[in-house]
Chains A and B, each alone.
Chain A
Amino acid sequence: MAGAGTAGLKDATAVVGIGQTAFARRLPESEKALACRAVLAALDDAGISPAEVDALASYTMEETDEVEVAKAVGFGDLSFFSRVGFGGGGSCATLAHLAGAVVTGQATVGVAWRSRKRGSGPRPWTDTAVQLPTPAQWTRPFGLLRPADEIAMLTRRYLHEYGATRDHLFNVALACRNRANQNPAAMMYERPLTRDMYMTSRWISEPLCLFDNCLETDGALACVVVSAERARDCRRRPVYVHSAAQGLPAQHHGMVNYWNDDPLTGPAWTAARHLWKHADFTPEDVDVAQIYDAFTPLVPLSLEGYGFCGRGEGGAFTEGGALEIGGRLPLNTGGGGLSEAYVHGFNLITEGVRQLRGTSTAQVPGAATCLVTAGEGVPTSALLLRN
Chain B
Amino acid sequence: MLTPVVDDDGALFWEYAARGELRVQACAEAACGELRFPPRPCCPHCHSFAGEWRRMSGRGRIWSYVFPHPPLLPEYAAQAPYNVIVVELAEAPLIRLVGNLVSGPGAPLNSVAPERLRIGARVQVVFPQDGDGAEAVRLPRWVLERP
A67-B7 Cα distance, complex, nearest whole Å: 33
* Residues 90-117 (chain B) with a chain A CB within 8 angstroms: 94-100, 109
Complex: how many Å from CA A156 to CA B99?
Answer: 16
Q: Which residues of A contact B6 (CB under 8 A)?
A: 133, 137
Q: A144-B84, A154-B64, A258-B63 are in contact. Are A205 and B69 (CB under 8 A)?
A: yes
Q: A128: CB under 8 A from chain B?
A: yes
**Most A CB atoms within 10 A — which of B44, B68, B96?**
B68
Of the stretches A40-48, A145-153, A328-336, A360-368, the one at the interface is: A145-153
Quick one: which of A133-180 are within 8 Å of B by CB? Answer: 133-146, 148-149, 152-154, 156-157, 160
Inter-chain contact B109/A143, CB cutoff 8 Å: yes
Could you say which residues of chain B place their CB within 8 Å of the CB of A251?
Answer: 44
A256 sits at the interface (CB 8 A): yes
Q: Which of A49-63 contact B (CB under 8 A)?
A: none
| A123, B72: Cα distance in complex, Å | 10
* CB of A206 closer than 8 Å to a CB of B: yes
A137 and B66 form a contact (CB under 8 A): no
Given known A205-B69, A259-B38, contact A134–B10 (CB-CB < 8 A): yes
Q: A193-223 toward B: CB 8 Å interface, digit per residue (1/0)?
A: 0000000001111110000000000000000
Q: B139 touching A149 by the CB < 8 A rule? A: no
CB distance from B97 to the nearest CB of A (A): 8
Cα distance A142–B2 in the bound complex, in angstroms: 8
Selected from A137, A142, A204, the residue in CB contact (under 8 A) with B5 is A137
Given A128-B73, A142-B100, A251-B44, verify A152-B66 contact (CB < 8 Å): yes
Using an 8 Å CB-CB cutoff, how does the interface string of B70-89 with A read, 1 for contact, 0 for none? 01110010010110101000
Cβ–Cβ < 8 Å partners of B10 in chain A = 133-134, 137-138
Give the complex CA separation of A80 and B98 in angstroms: 42
Closest 5 CB pairs of A and B: A133-B7, A137-B4, A206-B67, A157-B64, A152-B66
**Residue ranges of A at the interface with B (Cβ–Cβ < 8 Å):** 123, 126, 128, 131-146, 148-149, 152-154, 156-157, 160, 202-207, 251, 253, 256, 258-261
